[in-house]
């Protein structure tokens, strides 16, 4: 019989923390991943802390290897990593705010590579989903998104985040279609994620929800 194991990549103080608590309440063994995890506090709270840099595929693969060895392959994986303005090492904005082509080419290439971590996480997740121990388990892969893929791209400052979320959005569409036959599915975030994890069917891959945690109906 499979164990309920979840891995949250990017377990920050908001979405990640609340989602971890919601899954733990459902009986999951929750691995919480961040660049510098608070080891003592996470362990005290009943989680399995693991160091992971959500911008580096090799770090993601190493984190999965550790979790697989210590807990077993996760049947729920949530990619909550993101590029933010608070992370100057990964976010570069155009020197001239209203002129996106002033962004250095190497900076654009850096932003264009943001799909690699999600792809790496999905590869590792699917390997675990297919493990014999997870046969019959509800298997879920979720990537935290935002409205950028379907709103006007009129702010050059957010070009990096736009690229990231558009890439993740397209990858999730592809993954949802490719693996649907294997039943691998892709404060408000925690409730929605918890509901998605416990569903018996596959939800819409592009699952949008309101501030109240209710599904937003697309036109």
Tell me if 217 is assigned to some domain: no
| Residue 216 DSSP label | P
In a domain, 20, yes or no: yes
Q: Is residue 214 in a domain?
A: no
Q: Which residue has the higher pLDDT, 205 or 125?
A: 125
Say how many domains are in the chain. 1
User: Is the residue at 205 inside a domain?
Assistant: no
Q: How high is the pLDDT of residue 186?
A: 44
**Of the segments 123-132, 138-147, 149-158, 201-210, which one has the largest average pLDDT value?**
123-132
Contact 184, 168 (CB under 8 A): no
Name the band, by pLDDT with cuts 50, 70 and 90, for residue 85: very low
pLDDT of res. 127: 94
Residue 210 maps to a domain:
no
Mean pLDDT for all residues in the chain: 79
Question: Which CATH number belongs to the domain containing residue 51 in this structure?
Answer: 3.40.50.720
The DSSP string of 162-198 is HHHHHHHHHHHHHHHHHHGGGTEE---HHHHHHHHHH
Q: Among 84, 104, 85, which residue's Cα sits nearest to residue 94?
A: 104
The pLDDT value given to residue 69: 97
Give the pLDDT score at 60: 96
Domain residues for the domain of 156 are 5-198
Kindly state whether residue 46 falls inside one of the protein's structural domains: yes
pLDDT digits (tens, 9 = 90+) for 126-142: 999 999 888 888 888 88
Q: Is the pLDDT of residue 66 over 90?
A: yes
59 within a domain of the structure (yes/no): yes
Instruction: Name the residue with higher pLDDT: 41 or 81.
Output: 41
Note whether residue 215 is domain-resident.
no
pLDDT score of 68 more than 50:
yes
Q: Do 86 and 147 contact (CB within 8 A), yes or no?
A: no
Residue 210's pLDDT band, with cuts at 50, 70 and 90, is low
């Amino acid at each position: 019989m499979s164990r309920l194991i979840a891995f949250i990549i990017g377990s920050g103080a908001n979405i990640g923390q609340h989602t971890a608590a919601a899954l733990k309440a459902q009986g999951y063994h929750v691995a919480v991943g961040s660049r510098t995890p608070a080891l003592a506090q996470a362990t005290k709270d009943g989680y399995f802390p693991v160091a992971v840099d959500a911008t580096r595929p090799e770090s993601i693969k190493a984190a999965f290897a550790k979790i697989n060895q210590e807990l077993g392959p996760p049947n729920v994986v949530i990619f909550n990593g993101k590029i933010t303005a608070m992370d100057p090492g990964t976010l570069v904005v155009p020197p001239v705010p209203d002129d996106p082509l002033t962004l250095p080419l190497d900076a654009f290439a850096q932003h264009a590579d943001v799909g690699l971590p999600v792809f790496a996480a999905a590869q590792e997740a699917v390997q675990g989903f297919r493990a014999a121990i997870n046969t019959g388990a509800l298997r879920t892969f979720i990537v935290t998104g935002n409205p950028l893929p379907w709103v006007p791209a009129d702010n050059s400052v957010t070009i990096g985040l736009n690229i990231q979320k558009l890439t993740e959005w397209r990858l999730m569409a592809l993954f949802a279609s490719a693996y649907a036959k294997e039943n691998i599915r892709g404060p408000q975030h925690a409730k929605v994620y918890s509901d998605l994890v416990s569903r018996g069917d596959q939800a819409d891959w592009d699952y949008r929800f309101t501030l109240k945690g209710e599904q937003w109906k697309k036109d």
